[in-house]
A and B are shown apart, each in its own frame.
Chain A
């Protein structure tokens, strides 16, 4: 891969990213996409972030955590507390709150990850499931966050632009992580843990790190959610939500970021488009899951990734960025 061509792809990717944003906001301003539908794009954004971050642990590290919504809750409540109590105003305060929420979730990732990842398989699933429920239970009983009555009055600062920026950053960082020596270390654990150790990979460290990074982005999504919806209820972050995110990952393909993006967007948009079916969302999810698992057990995309260089590369060049 020569430097000039690499630079070309980066420039092109940046242009497409910015271009897509202006087309999208342009369409909204022109009224082609109505206010109602434009609002719907915001949850699509943070659900993609949730799916992609969970894919890091499921698809790339090869573990099965069932408490992803717990990290989202930590991010949501932390950021909501931050905008309420910290002395920063406006956009700065909002960004600081988002970052704090993500960092707190990452810290929880380490705390949960260290003991949980010593076990694996079913045990890990059960421990993380327990974690999600514990977080929910604690939040239900915490008075200063409103308990079961909900954390109300969070400033609704999340707009399409913020979500878009966070989404692009999430995708960029997870992608660059995966395609680095750190990403290879993560994947080697999925492929064969004993072989990874014997190649000098500190598997416990990388598992915990991956867990924590996934939690970071889930926490960021949680912060966006809090400032989008304006009020937080602990029950939102239960097992159902964790499973909903997991379904997105499995449908899109474990180990395909592209797949997670497509399936999270589809699963969020499809039921809203078909308003009549809104009540049957979980039914549609389950049916879709069954159908895809029968006909494509690896998920829609398998481990395929969309790459600009695949489109433009000269025939036979297989060394993609």
Chain B
């Protein structure tokens, strides 16, 4: 089902894979822009993401990639344009509301709950799925024990995606850099998202870890059947997993297309890839 990665152009200027063509896109971003004081950090950003697509967002440092994530999650409010998430305009919502509508993310500069255990990090992601009320918690009624147990099991199950069950009771801050990045992905998945935004997940990982991460990302998309947007400087990872790629430079999209098209685009080579990038 996920093998055919051919992209089909839409009248709006976006692209979708064949399997997502007959469904409304999960993300439909139109003419998005934001200014920081005098700086136009992002202008005329258009992107359509299919429901099960893996999209890459690449570009040089300071191009505005992380800013796009901060806009999608409403950490920033846009100066111009709109974000339609699964048919809902998220204008004016707060970050936690957008999370509940199905957007989960990781952070370029890791933001874990460092001083508490790995499993509690994941269980905070499971907050809304762990349905018991305040009296049940305060009085330790059966509902509390039942739902806590379910949450524990679910958290361990999610950790097992990355073989991290054995780390469950360690403080999150004590994990290795790579493990912390993986934990952030697990915590994001715990919120039961329909779009997962990964901000440089391979940063600081060694090549073998990055290779595993590539498998993991595909595995996550295939089992959870969700859309993933990936910001990454590691081209082997981007070219290896992404179906569609958008390239940002100075806050503007300079190219969109399949990995093959992007690799051969002269403007992208000029602005970002440089010569000699083949793999």
Cβ of B132 and Cβ of A181 under 8 Å apart?
A: yes
Cβ distance A210 to chain B, nearest Cβ, rounded Å: 12
Among B10-18, B100-108, B251-259, which stretch is in contact with chain A?
Answer: B100-108
Bound-complex Cα distance A3 to B123 (A): 21
User: A residues within 8 A CB of B190?
Assistant: 199
The residue among A3, A10, A177, A195 with the most chain B CB atoms within 10 A of its own CB is A195
How many residues of B sit at the interface, in one of the four size bands? 35 or more
| Residues in B lying within 8 Å of A, measured CB to CB | 73, 75, 94-96, 99-100, 104-105, 107, 111-116, 120, 123-125, 127-128, 130, 132, 134, 137-140, 144-145, 148, 151-152, 169, 187-188, 190-191
Number of interface residues of A (CB under 8 A): 29
Bound-complex Cα distance A144 to B216 (A): 69
A203 on the B face (CB < 8 A): yes
In-complex Cβ contact of B169 among A182, A185, A196, A318 (8 A): A318
A191-B115 in contact given A180-B144, A197-B95, A201-B96 (Cβ < 8 Å): yes
| Residues in A lying within 8 Å of B, measured CB to CB | 3, 6, 10, 173, 176-177, 180-185, 187-188, 191-192, 194-203, 303, 318-319
Q: A182-B134, A187-B116, A198-B188 are in contact. List 20 more A-B contacts (CB 8 A).
A: A177-B137, A180-B132, A181-B123, A181-B127, A181-B151, A183-B137, A185-B127, A191-B115, A192-B113, A195-B107, A195-B111, A198-B73, A198-B96, A198-B104, A199-B104, A199-B125, A200-B96, A200-B125, A200-B191, A201-B127
Cβ distance A121 to chain B, nearest Cβ, rounded Å: 18
In-complex Cβ contact of A203 among B96, B100, B139, B148 (8 A): B96
Main secondary structure of the interface of A (DSSP, over half): helix
Cβ of A184 and Cβ of B123 under 8 Å apart?
A: yes
Cβ of A319 and Cβ of B187 under 8 Å apart?
A: no
Cβ of A198 and Cβ of B124 under 8 Å apart?
A: no
Bound-complex Cα distance A4 to B75 (A): 46
Shortest 10 CB-CB distances between A and B: which pairs? A180-B137, A191-B113, A200-B99, A197-B95, A195-B111, A318-B169, A188-B124, A181-B130, A192-B111, A197-B96
User: A residues within 8 A CB of B73?
Assistant: 198
Bound-complex Cα distance A187 to B171 (A): 14
What are 16 A-B pairs with beta-carbon distances under 8 A? A10-B140, A176-B138, A181-B130, A181-B132, A184-B124, A184-B127, A185-B124, A187-B116, A191-B114, A195-B112, A197-B99, A198-B105, A199-B127, A200-B96, A200-B100, A201-B124
Cβ distance A256 to chain B, nearest Cβ, rounded Å: 12
Cβ distance B85 to chain A, nearest Cβ, rounded Å: 14
User: A residues within 8 A CB of B137?
Assistant: 176-177, 180-183
In-complex Cβ contact of A198 among B95, B114, B128, B152 (8 A): B95
User: A residues within 8 A CB of B187?
Assistant: 199
In-complex Cβ contact of B138 among A10, A177, A318 (8 A): A177
Query: Which partner residue on chain A sits nearest B147 by CB separation?
Result: A181
Cβ distance A202 to chain B, nearest Cβ, rounded Å: 5
A173-B138 in contact given A199-B127, A200-B127 (Cβ < 8 Å): yes
User: B residues within 8 A CB of A197?
Assistant: 75, 94-96, 99
User: B residues within 8 A CB of A10?
Assistant: 140
User: A residues within 8 A CB of B120?
Assistant: 184, 187
User: A residues within 8 A CB of B96?
Assistant: 197-203
Cβ of B124 and Cβ of A196 under 8 Å apart?
A: yes
Bound-complex Cα distance A181 to B120 (A): 9
Cβ distance B254 to chain A, nearest Cβ, rounded Å: 29
Bound-complex Cα distance A318 to B171 (A): 12
The residue among B73, B125, B139, B145 with the most chain A CB atoms within 10 A of its own CB is B125
Bound-complex Cα distance A164 to B112 (A): 39
Query: Which partner residue on chain A sits nearest B173 by CB separation?
Result: A191
Bound-complex Cα distance A184 to B130 (A): 12
User: B residues within 8 A CB of A200?
Assistant: 96, 99-100, 125, 127-128, 191
Query: Which partner residue on chain A sits nearest B197 by CB separation?
Result: A198
Cβ distance B42 to chain A, nearest Cβ, rounded Å: 19
Bound-complex Cα distance A192 to B115 (A): 10
Bound-complex Cα distance A318 to B167 (A): 11
Cβ distance A172 to chain B, nearest Cβ, rounded Å: 8
Query: Which partner residue on chain B sits nearest A317 by CB separation?
Result: B169
A192-B112 in contact given A176-B137, A184-B123, A198-B104 (Cβ < 8 Å): yes
Query: Which partner residue on chain B sits nearest A10 by CB separation?
Result: B140
Bound-complex Cα distance A187 to B124 (A): 9
Cβ of A303 and Cβ of B75 under 8 Å apart?
A: no
Cβ distance A220 to chain B, nearest Cβ, rounded Å: 15
Bound-complex Cα distance A191 to B187 (A): 14
User: A residues within 8 A CB of B132?
Assistant: 180-181
Query: Which partner residue on chain A sits nearest B123 by CB separation?
Result: A184
Bound-complex Cα distance A150 to B125 (A): 51
Cβ distance B132 to chain A, nearest Cβ, rounded Å: 7
User: A residues within 8 A CB of B140?
Assistant: 10, 176
User: A residues within 8 A CB of B124?
Assistant: 184-185, 188, 196, 199, 201
In-complex Cβ contact of B115 among A195, A196, A303, A319 (8 A): A303
Bound-complex Cα distance A249 to B120 (A): 24
User: B residues within 8 A CB of A199?
Assistant: 96, 99, 104, 124-125, 127, 187, 190-191
Bound-complex Cα distance A177 to B104 (A): 26
User: A residues within 8 A CB of B148?
Assistant: 180-181
Bound-complex Cα distance A303 to B114 (A): 13
